[in-house]
A and B are shown apart, each in its own frame.
Chain A
Amino acid sequence: MYAAIVSLTLMGLILGYGLAQAARWFKVEGNPLVEEIDAMLPGSQCGQCGFPGCSPAAEAIASGAAPVTLCPPGGKALAEALAAKLGVTADLGDMEDAGPKLAVVLPELCTGCTRCFKVCPTDAIIGAPKQLHLVIKDACTGCGKCVESCPSESVVLRPIEATLKSWYWPKPQMNLVEVV
């Protein structure tokens, strides 16, 4: 019996040591591209892209499984930066379909339950128990986590309204004449 115990313990120790060494020497470096992309993403872990957070999204972008236009809070600027990084062409036309949105608290429905601001990844909602909550527009990314958490359906996402400040001329159309 003692022989069995000693031999198995020894085997376990040797194999374990061998595995530990193998893990150290044959370590697979994490894809550095993933880290770089992760650093470019907003990092709010909002989940609007359909991935559980920014790191899984970065992996998907690096492997080519997801398009560079997947991040709504990052917008066109991010999509373009990612496209440049990966050397791919980004189809920015798709990005405008969804359009950026902002959360709005409907004052007549809010009960002041504090659930929404506890889940907000960017601390964009302020409030206190049994007090009306309010969204800070500049900090909101429109991720919709607050909408899911609200028990009284008092948080809604609304498209950002165009103002004189944000409006700019569309790209002019060139109706080229046929040169015969």
Chain B
Amino acid sequence: MKLTLFRGGVHPPGFKEQSASQGIENAPLPARLYVPLQQHLGAPAQAIVRRGQQVLKGELIGRASGPISAAVHAPTSGTVVAIGKHTAPHPSGLPIETVVIEADGNDTWCELHPCDTPFDLDPDAIAAKVGEAGIVGLGGATFPSAVKLKLKNRNPIHTLIINGGECEPYLTCDDRLMREESVAIVEGVRLMLRALEAQRALVVIEDNKPEAFAAMHAAAEAVSEVEVVQVPSLYPMGSEKQMIETVLGQEVPAGGMSSDLGVVVHNVGTAFAVHRAVRFGEPLIERITTVAGSAIVKPRNLRVRLGTPVEALFAYCGGIKGEPARLLMGGPMMGQVLPNMQVPVVKGSSGILALTAQEVNEQSTANCIRCSRCVRACPVGLVPLEMAGRIRVGDFKGAEAWGLRDCLSCASCSYVCPAHIPLVQFFNHAKGELTARAQADHKAKETRRLAEARSERMERIKAEKAAAAAARKAARAKKAAEEESAAPAGDSETSTEQKETSA
């Protein structure tokens, strides 16, 4: 297959050997699971359980609300002991709605609806089963997968790309999954192809995972519509748009979506989850997570129930050496800083990293000398130094004009900057600021519309009241006039009557 590598990119050291050699192990079931109702992009799920309620493993505890949302299921059987706020696995450290389940230790499944002939299901039924299972993009972006499987209704899809890039350093969960579950992944891919009514699937794997490539190649050999492609290891290969550019030679237009090109990208972990959901009826209640970093005594890949506190995983991996300088969820390039060790593993937790101060390598910044290394590293073709310079002085519109909206936040620029300028941190701040301002602007417009509608209504009511008063006045005048015209006869009658009675 002819490859057209995207521009820029960086080669950070992989550090994958720490955990890649370790087979996937089951993490122990903790006594309490903290299951957030928002583990996906979009609207949070709505809790449908009460405190004190008994739940079985796989039972629905949070219903998807709105078109972009995902269901949440109980990861084990037990009792719901609380529904309230718990710190989110998010750098803000803000609390989010969380269902706390005390495990009863029996781990009893609820009634599942397996399907022995999943390929006889029609495409929408597959997408519906994926939606019911609460599956989201397991590469870390956590976009509800069922929504992506229905994209064919917007635009015909010809190619499904299965992202096995795993370009972030330290992470090996997809690598291990492909080595150990290749047959199941291929079935998941075929189910997704059927749901999308697409013709072919490309499983794209970086060349630093030869074992995974061999396993997937063997599993897909007999399946004509699934092709396994090896691509060079270059960060950020795992980014959707960069991967499409590499294997298809097409660039997704700025502001556009991959489905505009007739392409949909899903992660290998998602394909495996689809297989479990459609064939066995199992909802998404566990995932493979890499626990790594030099502060971890024994890095490994674990099959973790969602809601397991991070500290339980550390304990299983031999504990922590010294004080970790930074805790991350995801990889070191794009991962999220974790506020503490009590936060739970969620659907998007591809990795939990505990890094030492040496690995974090925090350095003081110097001035930009416009060496343009960041320009060469940017996979999108932006000019990070210009954008950062504008954001620094608060010129967000200027940064937007330099293409801030197309920035992936991949951190390649920050990685290469010899002055250690926090470039991607500037971009993340500016993106948030621009979104907040756009929302404020929208609200101001809506306020104006509402206020105008109200004053218009008030005027109308006033006019109606005036009209009604005028009508009443006219009616009274008319009545009075009628009475007046009728009065002489009546008056004479009454006066004669009065005269008669008085007489």
Question: B-contacting residues of A (Cβ < 8 Å)?
Answer: 41-45, 73-78, 80, 92, 121-124, 138-139, 141, 162-164, 166-172, 174-177, 179
Question: When chains A and B are docked, how far (Å) is the Cα of A180 from the Cα of B454?
Answer: 64
Contact B94 A123 (CB under 8 A): no
Residues on the B chain within 8 Å of A78, using CB: 440-441, 444
Given known A75-B437, A162-B92, contact A174–B422 (CB-CB < 8 A):
yes
Residues on the B chain within 8 Å of A73, using CB: 443-444, 447
**Contacts of B428-470 to chain A: CB distance below 8 A:** 428-429, 431-433, 435-438, 440-441, 443-444, 446-448, 450-454
Set B92, B96, B392, B441: member contacting A77, Cβ < 8 A: B441
Given contacts A78-B441, A162-B94, 15 further A-B contacts (CB under 8 A): A45-B451, A74-B444, A77-B437, A121-B451, A139-B447, A139-B450, A141-B447, A162-B92, A164-B90, A164-B94, A164-B96, A167-B94, A168-B429, A174-B422, A176-B367
Contact B364 A177 (CB under 8 A): yes
Contact B426 A122 (CB under 8 A): no
Closest to B337 in A: A169
Contact A177 B366 (CB under 8 A): yes
The verdict on B246 contacting chain A, using a C-beta distance below 8 Å, is: no
A-B contact pairs, 24 of them (CB 8 A): A41-B448, A73-B443, A75-B437, A75-B443, A77-B440, A77-B441, A77-B444, A80-B437, A122-B450, A124-B450, A138-B443, A139-B447, A162-B94, A167-B432, A168-B428, A168-B429, A169-B432, A170-B429, A172-B422, A172-B429, A176-B366, A176-B367, A177-B364, A177-B366
Question: A-contacting residues of B (Cβ < 8 Å)?
Answer: 38, 88, 90-92, 94, 96, 364-367, 391-392, 394, 421-422, 425-426, 428-429, 431-433, 435-438, 440-441, 443-444, 446-448, 450-454
Given known A75-B440, A77-B441, A164-B94, contact A172–B425 (CB-CB < 8 A):
yes
Given known A164-B92, A168-B429, contact A177–B365 (CB-CB < 8 A):
yes
Report B432 CB to chain A, min CB distance, Å: 2
Residues on the B chain within 8 Å of A77, using CB: 437-438, 440-441, 444
| Chain B contact residues, majority secondary structure | helix
Contact A43 B94 (CB under 8 A): no
Q: Which 7 A-B pairs have the closest CB atoms?
A: A168-B432, A75-B440, A172-B425, A44-B451, A122-B450, A172-B422, A77-B441
Question: When chains A and B are docked, how far (Å) is the Cα of A62 from the Cα of B87?
Answer: 47
Contact B437 A139 (CB under 8 A): no
Residues on the B chain within 8 Å of A163, using CB: 94
Contact A42 B447 (CB under 8 A): yes
Contact A174 B450 (CB under 8 A): no
Contact A139 B446 (CB under 8 A): yes
Residues on the A chain within 8 Å of B451, using CB: 42-45, 121-122
Report B3 CB to chain A, min CB distance, Å: 35
Question: When chains A and B are docked, how far (Å) is the Cα of A41 from the Cα of B97?
Answer: 36
Question: When chains A and B are docked, how far (Å) is the Cα of A163 from the Cα of B88?
Answer: 10
Contact B429 A169 (CB under 8 A): yes
Question: When chains A and B are docked, how far (Å) is the Cα of A176 from the Cα of B421?
Answer: 9
Question: When chains A and B are docked, how far (Å) is the Cα of A175 from the Cα of B365?
Answer: 6
Question: When chains A and B are docked, how far (Å) is the Cα of A124 from the Cα of B308?
Answer: 41
Report B135 CB to chain A, min CB distance, Å: 21
Residues on the B chain within 8 Å of A139, using CB: 446-447, 450
Contact B433 A43 (CB under 8 A): no
Question: When chains A and B are docked, how far (Å) is the Cα of A177 from the Cα of B419?
Answer: 10
Report B296 CB to chain A, min CB distance, Å: 26
Closest to B433 in A: A168
Question: When chains A and B are docked, how far (Å) is the Cα of A40 from the Cα of B92?
Answer: 33
Residues on the A chain within 8 Å of B92, using CB: 162, 164, 167
Question: When chains A and B are docked, how far (Å) is the Cα of A171 from the Cα of B441?
Answer: 21
Question: When chains A and B are docked, how far (Å) is the Cα of A118 from the Cα of B423?
Answer: 50
Question: When chains A and B are docked, how far (Å) is the Cα of A112 from the Cα of B433?
Answer: 39
Question: When chains A and B are docked, how far (Å) is the Cα of A122 from the Cα of B432?
Answer: 27
Report A162 CB to chain B, min CB distance, Å: 6
Residues on the B chain within 8 Å of A75, using CB: 437, 440-441, 443-444
Report A100 CB to chain B, min CB distance, Å: 8
Given known A43-B448, A92-B394, A177-B364, contact A171–B429 (CB-CB < 8 A):
yes
Question: When chains A and B are docked, how far (Å) is the Cα of A76 from the Cα of B92?
Answer: 22
Report A42 CB to chain B, min CB distance, Å: 4
Closest to B438 in A: A77
Report B395 CB to chain A, min CB distance, Å: 10
Q: Which residue among B38, B90, B454 has the maximum number of chain A CB atoms within 10 Å of its CB?
A: B454
Residues on the B chain within 8 Å of A74, using CB: 440, 444
Contact B437 A174 (CB under 8 A): no
Report A88 CB to chain B, min CB distance, Å: 14
Question: When chains A and B are docked, how far (Å) is the Cα of A78 from the Cα of B422?
Answer: 29
Residues on the A chain within 8 Å of B96, using CB: 164
Contact A179 B440 (CB under 8 A): no
Residues on the B chain within 8 Å of A167, using CB: 90, 92, 94, 432
Contact A169 B450 (CB under 8 A): no
Residues on the A chain within 8 Å of B394, using CB: 92
Question: When chains A and B are docked, how far (Å) is the Cα of A163 from the Cα of B92?
Answer: 9
Residues on the A chain within 8 Å of B447, using CB: 42-44, 73, 122, 139, 141
